[in-house]
Chains A and B, each alone.
Chain A
Amino acid sequence: MKGDRVTGISHRQDQDEFRGATGSLFRIALAPTIWAFHFLFCYAGAAVWCAKFGTPGGIAFLRLSIAGLTVLALLAIAWQGWRSYRQWAPHDHDDHVEGSHRFLGHAALLLSVISFVGVVYVAMPALFIGSCL
């Protein structure tokens, strides 16, 4: 038998929906993943730089790299947040129905917001601390 007798959703419809959802699921993880890699690069970068070159070499390059990395990460997260927002609240949306597609957009948007804040916090030490000590 094809489809579900109770919901009336056909097997094919189900599959399409699922395919769309996997895309959204991956997208949900995107912002936190950027945050994680930004964290990794900043901390590992600072540790390696300070161990190999230390303060005498100056850490201007290190701080600039962290700044650059941060701008990239924030742009990517903002773009991802915007896409999630569109997915959550399309122009013709109805406030009272939030299907799985829109729900995933909503979740991705919230995760983008927290990842954005996370990336800013991770980068802040480079703003204040000017030496390897």
Chain B
Amino acid sequence: MSICRRIRALHPVALPLLLGGCDGPQSALRPGGQDAAQLYLLFVVMLVGAVVLWLALNGLFFYFTRVNQQQFSLRHGNRIIIGAGVILPTVVVGSLLAWGLSIMPSQRAPGDGLVIRVTGEEWWWRVEYWPPGADAPIVSANEIRFPAGSRTELRLTARTYIHSLWIPSLGGKMDMIPGRETVLTLHPDLEGFYRGQCAEFCGASHAMMAFESVVMAPDDFDAWLAHEAAPASRPQTPMQVRGQDIFRDEGCGACHAIRGTEFTGSVGPDLTHLASRHSLAAGIMEVERDDLMRWIAHTRDIKPQVAMPPYDWLDAEELAALAAYLESLE
């Protein structure tokens, strides 16, 4: 049982403010995998240790200044200083260091096969799935899915600026550095939705560089990945067809790829299965009509400095058609 739940059990009504950071899809205090569980344990031990030390130290202060004000001999005083002031902290910090260091290799333990390459872009995530034996990736964006119960290897890099990938409920952070590849492996256990966030200040839209992460049962994951690898569905309704025409006429395909169509741009996120993602524009909106229309018309008001220009000359009907087309890309 996590700390949050335990405190809540003690006091179900009060404390919700205090525990604001405790629960939810982006909390390191609600581990959903082995790596986060390790860090959580480390945190709890440090917290309890700090509280004990604080109480002991202040208790001693209180004792010697208020309760027992006797004078110590120099020798006795020196012993206390050397024991409690030199040896104790050296041993405590040394053991914590050893423990922390012993955890680090397990957070980079080799994966069980699936490799996910993630590139930090401005300000979104390019995601490529490489199942074992694949010679071409399955391309996606702004959402990272994991099979539960196995260790997945994340190979990270960045385009222009340094970013950092962090899914607090699944594990620690790892920097994404242009021109370099860093590795992080994660072993999620609990199926569910988790939120990730760029954890290294990277510029104007850093705070709006997040993503959804989904941990799925292995079979569901395989089915989903097969679907993700397939080309996009064709537009069905007249409105969707019109949306695709606008997409073509406005040149969206120069930046965005939709597999199975003539659109093959790679400046922006792959949109082949946009509608099966759980968020829009790197975790800040939803994939639904109004948000899509708002995004296309006001990109830079919503996210400063994004490469995608605002299409504010499109009228509401055109925007709705575009959105309808994008919503059909299940």
Question: What residues make up the interface of A, taking CB atoms closer than 8 Å to B?
Answer: 95, 113, 117, 120-121, 124-125, 127-131, 133
Contact = CB atoms under 8 A, between A and B. Distances in A.
B233 to A, nearest CB: 40
B45 interface: no
What does DSSP make chain B's interface, helix, strand, loop or mixed?
A: helix
Given A128-B102, A128-B104, A129-B105, A121 B86 contact: no
* Most B Cβ at <10 Å: residue of A120, A124, A131, A133: A133
Given A121-B97, A124-B97, A129 B90 contact: no
B94 A121 contact: yes
Interface of B: 74, 86, 90, 93-94, 97-98, 101-102, 104-105, 108, 183
A125 B90 contact: no
Nearest to B93: A121
B72 to A, nearest CB: 15
5 closest residue pairs by CB, A with B: A128-B101, A133-B108, A128-B102, A133-B183, A117-B90
What does DSSP make chain A's interface, helix, strand, loop or mixed?
A: helix
Nearest to A133: B108
B86 A128 contact: no
27 contacts: A95-B74, A113-B86, A117-B90, A117-B94, A120-B94, A121-B93, A121-B94, A121-B97, A124-B94, A124-B97, A124-B98, A124-B101, A125-B101, A127-B98, A128-B98, A128-B101, A128-B102, A128-B104, A128-B105, A129-B101, A129-B104, A129-B105, A130-B105, A131-B105, A131-B108, A133-B108, A133-B183
A98 B94 CA distance: 33
B58 to A, nearest CB: 25
Nearest to B82: A113
A124 B74 CA distance: 35
A6 B97 CA distance: 54
Contacts of A127: 98, 101
A113 B90 CA distance: 11
A62 B94 CA distance: 22
Nearest to A128: B101
B182 to A, nearest CB: 8
Nearest to A110: B86
A61 B93 CA distance: 28
Nearest to A117: B90
Contacts of B74: 95
A113 B94 CA distance: 14
Contacts of B104: 128-129
Nearest to A130: B105
Contacts of A129: 101, 104-105
Given A128-B101, A129-B104, A130-B105, 12 more contacts: A95-B74, A121-B93, A121-B97, A124-B98, A125-B101, A127-B98, A128-B98, A128-B102, A128-B104, A129-B101, A131-B108, A133-B108
Contacts of A125: 101
A133 B183 CA distance: 7
Contacts of A120: 94
Contacts of A95: 74
Contacts of A130: 105
A95 B183 CA distance: 58
Contacts of A124: 94, 97-98, 101
